[in-house]
Chain A
């Protein structure tokens, strides 16, 4: 059940209505049932996998508590939990990839052998709930959170439907704690949550899905479109994926808030970043924090010297690439993001010296904008590998972009050959512009959502209805449009 589908628009109000009608004591039970229904609407069998992962990590938590004075046993339990959970993730997500890689190698050495590759259906959101559940098991092991006694309440923490399939990857210390606290209906939560949901739908349907028309057309036929189109589509993809994933996260946060739960802010004006490192603190923050807490720091973080720090960064980002998709182009994408950060870090002292030597005023807006521009260029270059169908495809795109000279074509009506008409292009550009302005104002301390919330009822109503109309009119949805899945659902 996608957020941008009719079933969800029916499901959600019913869940919310009954949630507040049911006595407080039993609300979490209703949410648990709803969450499993939400998840199993994709495929009922997936529910078993979710249940199994939940059960393993809950038992792990209980055993950690049981062996709290036996460090050795605690560690064994945790290792077993990690192995089983990552084993499941590995089987569903990476097994076919590994076999394909083996086949590719066998074919290169002309062995004449090949391994049969099973057709494994990737359960929706498996990477998200596996990481969330593992985070709990590790936190209990570390003694950061108490082991949850009630299995079903814990099951709700793992399966909470607003963030189940594409995050934010929540921490038990925050979400599980909230689930133990009775929630009341709050008008303020309703209005702000609803505004967040509208904002999310705007990002997804108006910005991302309209941009997707051009991006999909160009990336779907890279040999037909010359370099200028490919460059434009790559820039558009940066905003498409932001609208897509940022939109999902905002809908998730809004839906959770309406029911009285606070989820972490997964996107904080990422394209306003002035370094790739900053970008990764602002983009998909919950995953970044997960990797930081459960991988980077245990690897030694920056505590074991500069070289080790760089190696750790590269490990984290290569694995992050693999987490995003079982294909080499995702690994390269992750590697590039890691590499950019290593370069930034290594070049920082030299750059500071240069700036001081040439008396460059690095605090000026113009310098910051320039830094922002270069950061965007680096991040977007990496996105190219993310969006391409394969590593070979990505390299072909780069080759085409480098060898192409007539970039002005993208400013002519020729661009309309990619699908949308002039009016749709205008909508896309306006949507991107509006989002950038809102993000810019946000980093300057002006949160447009908060500002709307502080206005009079009539003004707020006007904003809601205007936003709703913009989504309905300019969004890619409805007749002839099949609800495009959120990009991050496949991870």
Chain B
């Protein structure tokens, strides 16, 4: 009897310890992976299109806009710093959990690589794989990245093992469940002048198909073929592109076509939506909100032509995307309200055709002083920018904030005239955006 009692005590202790460790791991982990991926798992209807890849994809394609403009039910599952091999395993996991019709992958980090890279940025690797359950995919990926980084695979399989030192930086947000309100994407407001992108005259480079970088592209195509999913290779703009890189990308795209998949050469198909090298980039590799809206539109126009992709607007089953669209507007208005500069404020308003953006100096209506903000504001198709006078409602909205000799910006709903966001900034004369010296 005593033996059974002791045995039960051991079992209870083990269970309690396991529970505490589980909670501890959940609290300590960096929430980025769950933040980005969990909304996908919460969707009632599966998306037709899932975007995968690294930060360039993560920052360039807005699923909410794809829904709004084309009715495409999509999700952006790309993750910053994600290397091609990692994307393959993420893709494997996503294709076990979902049945999309199309997966879109950016070739950015594949081209020109002579060896398979798994990233030395351990935090990025975790951001990519933390959402995965402990299964064959995760274990295989952990073994690969661990071997590459000369670490123990457990560093990628156990939350506590990797994150236990995060106790020093735990904040209130670590105890709240917060998820992406951008359907996995991330809007960037930074502006950096970069080199103008020129599409070179390229032809196929057979060597590209023998490179180590191609190994996981090959696996991706094989996996998608096996699962009956179409893979679309795209080449998001990178201002430090070389001719060889463009040729390699072209080769991979051609190969995709030969193997029954798709590709979309953005560089040669964006027409008048080409990103402006002065205003549309956050840095040489990433587009900002303005560039992203343009690229999303170009990509959406292509994707909707695919036989696998349908316009689901009005379909009750896809109401999650309607809800996301509505929430996205609140999200952007919230961000605008907290924006640190007039330019950032305008960035959040960019691409919302239903919104008007008003700017005042003091109470006089005018364009914000700095060229970026003007560019963005004009691009917003805002309501009269410089002919109005600050209304009583707008003054009330600002409350105690002093607006004399300052720039005040407002976002209003064009249909109802309701003020959605408003903030006051010091006037900026000239430009505060950074220039990429290397690119100039």
Q: Which residues of A contact B (CB under 8 A)?
A: 6, 187, 190, 421, 423-424, 457, 461, 464-465, 468-469, 472-475, 477-480
Distance in angstroms from B5 CB to nearest chain A CB is 9
Q: Are A473 and B13 in contact (CB under 8 A)?
A: no
Docked pose: A473 CA to B164 CA in angstroms: 5
Docked pose: A424 CA to B164 CA in angstroms: 13
11 sample A-B contacts, Cβ–Cβ < 8 Å, listed by A number: A6-B152, A457-B9, A464-B13, A464-B17, A468-B17, A468-B20, A469-B24, A472-B21, A472-B160, A472-B164, A477-B164
Residue from the list A423, A457, A465, A478 in contact with B164, Cβ < 8 A: A478
Residue from the list A424, A472, A479 in contact with B122, Cβ < 8 A: A479
In the complex, residue of chain B having the shortest beta-carbon distance to the beta carbon of A422: B168
Q: Are A478 and B17 in contact (CB under 8 A)?
A: no
Q: Are B24 and A478 in contact (CB under 8 A)?
A: no
Q: Which interface class (under 10, 10 to 19, 20 to 34, 35 or more) fits B? A: 20 to 34
Q: Are B168 and A421 in contact (CB under 8 A)?
A: yes
Main secondary structure of the interface of B (DSSP, over half): helix
Q: Are A478 and B168 in contact (CB under 8 A)?
A: no
Docked pose: A167 CA to B167 CA in angstroms: 34
Docked pose: A477 CA to B160 CA in angstroms: 10
In the complex, residue of chain A having the shortest beta-carbon distance to the beta carbon of B150: A482
Docked pose: A160 CA to B122 CA in angstroms: 39
Residue from the list A424, A461, A480 in contact with B168, Cβ < 8 A: A424
Q: Which residues of A contact B151 (CB under 8 A)?
A: 479
B434 sits at the interface (CB 8 A): no
Q: Which residues of B contact A469 (CB under 8 A)?
A: 20, 24
Q: Which residues of B contact A473 (CB under 8 A)?
A: 24, 28, 164, 167
In the complex, residue of chain B having the shortest beta-carbon distance to the beta carbon of A481: B165
B302 sits at the interface (CB 8 A): no
CB contacts between A and B, total, < 8 Å: 48
Q: Which residues of B contact A6 (CB under 8 A)?
A: 152, 154
Q: Which residues of B contact A457 (CB under 8 A)?
A: 9
Q: Are A479 and B161 in contact (CB under 8 A)?
A: yes
- Against A, the Cβ 8 Å flags (1 = close, 0 = not) of B14-41 are 0011001100100010000000000000
Add 9 more A-B contacts to A6-B152, A6-B154, A479-B163 (CB < 8 A). Answer: A187-B9, A423-B168, A464-B13, A465-B20, A472-B21, A473-B28, A473-B164, A478-B165, A480-B122
Residue from the list B13, B21, B161 in contact with A478, Cβ < 8 A: B161
The answer to whether A478 and B155 touch (CB under 8 A), given A461-B13, A465-B17, A472-B160, is: yes
Q: Which residues of A contact B155 (CB under 8 A)?
A: 478-479
Docked pose: A74 CA to B175 CA in angstroms: 72
Distance in angstroms from A188 CB to nearest chain B CB is 9
Docked pose: A477 CA to B162 CA in angstroms: 9
Distance in angstroms from B120 CB to nearest chain A CB is 12
B6 sits at the interface (CB 8 A): yes
Residue from the list A187, A465, A480 in contact with B16, Cβ < 8 A: A465
Q: Are B16 and A461 in contact (CB under 8 A)?
A: yes
In the complex, residue of chain A having the shortest beta-carbon distance to the beta carbon of B21: A472
In the complex, residue of chain B having the shortest beta-carbon distance to the beta carbon of A473: B167
Docked pose: A457 CA to B155 CA in angstroms: 33
Q: Which residues of B contact A468 (CB under 8 A)?
A: 17, 20
Q: Which residues of A contact B17 (CB under 8 A)?
A: 464-465, 468
Q: Are B162 and A478 in contact (CB under 8 A)?
A: yes
Interface residues of B in 146-175 (CB under 8 A from A): 151-152, 154-155, 160-165, 167-168
Docked pose: A6 CA to B151 CA in angstroms: 12
Q: Are B160 and A474 in contact (CB under 8 A)?
A: no
Q: Which residues of A contact B10 (CB under 8 A)?
A: 187, 190
Q: Which residues of B contact A190 (CB under 8 A)?
A: 10
Q: Which residues of B contact A461 (CB under 8 A)?
A: 12-13, 16
Distance in angstroms from A163 CB to nearest chain B CB is 25
Q: Which residues of B contact A477 (CB under 8 A)?
A: 164
Docked pose: A469 CA to B167 CA in angstroms: 11
In the complex, residue of chain A having the shortest beta-carbon distance to the beta carbon of B153: A6
* 8 A-B pairs closest in CB distance: A479-B162, A187-B6, A479-B155, A478-B161, A473-B167, A423-B168, A478-B164, A472-B164
